Amino acid sequence: MTLECEKIGGINLAQGVCDTPVPKIIQEEAFRGMENGVNIYTRFDGIHELRGAIAEKAWKYNRIKANPETDVVVSAGSTGSFYCACLALLDPGDEVILFEPYYGYHINTLLAVETVPRYVRMEPPDWSFSEKELEKAATARTKAIVLNTPGNPSGKVFSPRELELIAEFAQRHDLFVFTDEIYEYFLYDGRIHISPGSLEALADRTITISGFSKTFSITGWRIGYSISSAKWANRIGYMNDLIYVCAPAPLQYGVAMGMSQLDSSFYEDLSREYSRKRGKLCDTLKQAGLRPHVPQGAYYILADVSSLPGNNSKKKAMYLLEQTGVACVPGEAFYHDASGKDLVRFCFAKTDQELNEACQRLGQFSSKSSTLLSVR
Ligand SMILES: Cc1ncc(COP(=O)(O)O)c(C=O)c1O
């Protein structure tokens, strides 16, 4: 959709690329690093300052105890962290439970390491799942369960009750819990983030994955990390060394500086700002007759586009792009079957200027389509 969007010079609400500004302090420290000769490999699991800042934040924000010397592995984005964790801890043929709608890189990473995904469906409006379905997905070969909270594309924020249930389930079946928490600061309507790894029952079996792409608007810097018990972190670190050697050196210093200097107001502002953008796009979609499932977190909106022409979500997304110049992602990208055929995903991590322009175009589409309806 990004390529199609570029062809017509449209507005790309498809890809999860936030083009909001990078905090100055982070940029300046990265520049300073380059100027001061920080241009060589770092320790395989990241620089001391960043591992320390991550461990401190893990305790203060996530309520996870992590030893920065043994439990934290800085990697090439959370994507790199997930890939290294899967390679290190899973074997071909292992079954892994994945909630759907899922994030594309999760399914493709699981397939790349030759594991067998088992799907558990989450249903709107709150993207809840059935305990029975979860139980049905487990077999003697199940080795892990993947969580994403807040989730892409659904915005799902797992509730304390759901996490307790998953904790009991993971313990009973002796599973790893891989949890991708990259959107941990993007929370709406007073929701709070609970890290599965903070639950006592899960502490030893959880690989907590996160990164800075979204929080600091640095998707191209490629800095993320995993936190796990030393015995798992050791294996994950080995894979990280083998594949990436280390994360970009001067950029690690920039991120470490941002983590130590930006206070809670930065993260609160982030939530407020994105909540405003969520409201704006949801309102526009409603007016356009593209019914949004209002997200609880993250920065995507899944919208019901059954009213658009076309018998699958790709045709519907292409129709919308042709009519409005606004690109979105076809919903079938988030399901292993045709269940997403009436859904598309919009990303609202955009500058105000771009989001306003997109909303204006979608708004005109709404008036165009209502004219069509009245003619009919
Ligand atoms: C759920 C989820 N995890 C990970 C990523 C990628 O993160 P990173 O840039 O840290 O690799 C994304 C980006 O869209 C995402 O949506």
Q: Is the pLDDT of residue 18 over 60?
A: yes
- Pocket lining: 224 vs ligand 1, CB cutoff 6 Å: yes
Ligand 1 centre distance from Cα of residue 61 (Å): 20
To test the pocket of ligand 1, the residue of 12, 22, 105 to mutate (highest count of ligand atoms within 8 Å of its CB) is: 105
19 pLDDT band, cuts 50/70/90, is confident
Ligand 1 centre distance from Cα of residue 80 (Å): 10
Ligand 1 centre distance from Cα of residue 30 (Å): 21
Ligand 1 centre distance from Cα of residue 182 (Å): 6
Q: Which residue, judged by its Cα, is nearest atom 14 of ligand 1?
A: 16
Ligand 1 centre distance from Cα of residue 376 (Å): 44
Outline where 138-191 has alpha helix (H): 160-172
What integer pLDDT is reported at residue 369 of this predicted model? 59
- Pocket lining: 79 vs ligand 1, CB cutoff 6 Å: yes
Q: What is the CA radius of gyration of the chain?
A: 21
Ligand 1 centre distance from Cα of residue 286 (Å): 27
Q: Report whether the peptide linkage leading into residue 196 is cis, meaning its omega lies within 30 degrees of zero.
A: no
Over residues 8-35, the mean pLDDT reads 90
Q: Is the pLDDT of residue 20 over 80?
A: no
Ligand 1 centre distance from Cα of residue 235 (Å): 22
Which is nearest to 230 in space by CA: 203, 192, 200?
203
Q: Which two tokens stand for residue 285?
A: 């979609």
Over residues 369-373, the mean pLDDT reads 47
What integer pLDDT is reported at residue 16 of this predicted model? 67
Q: Is the pLDDT of residue 371 over 90?
A: no
Question: pLDDT per residue over 39-89, tens digit each?
Answer: 999 999 999 999 999 999 999 999 999 999 999 999 999 999 999 999 999
What integer pLDDT is reported at residue 21 of this predicted model? 86
To test the pocket of ligand 1, the residue of 157, 183, 214 to mutate (highest count of ligand atoms within 8 Å of its CB) is: 214
Q: Is the pLDDT of residue 373 over 50?
A: no
Q: Is the pLDDT of residue 255 over 80?
A: yes
- Pocket lining: 213 vs ligand 1, CB cutoff 6 Å: yes
Residues whose CB is less than 8 angstroms from the CB of residue 298 and which lie 6 or more positions away in sequence, other chains included: 150, 151, 152, 153, 155, 183, 186
Outline where the chain has alpha helix (H): 2-7, 24-35, 48-60, 77-89, 104-112, 131-137, 160-172, 230-244, 249-261, 264-287, 313-324, 352-375
204 pLDDT band, cuts 50/70/90, is very high
Q: Which two tokens stand for residue 145?
A: 């369960």
DSSP code of residue 119: E
Question: Angle, to 10 degrees, between the axis of helix 77-89 and the axis of helix 104-112?
Answer: 30
Question: pLDDT per residue over 181-193, tens digit each?
Answer: 999 999 999 999 9
Q: Is the pLDDT of residue 370 over 80?
A: no
Give DSSP secondary structure letters for 198-238.
GSGGGTTTEEEEEESTTTTT-TTT--EEEE--HHHHHHHHH
Cα–Cα distance, 376 to 360 (Å, whole number): 24
Q: Which two tokens stand for residue 112?
A: 């790349």
- Pocket lining: 78 vs ligand 1, CB cutoff 6 Å: yes
Q: Which residue, judged by its Cα, is nearest atom 13 of ligand 1?
A: 16
The total of other beta-carbon atoms located within 10 Å of residue 104's CB is: 12
State the pTM of this model.
Answer: 0.95
What integer pLDDT is reported at residue 374 of this predicted model? 36
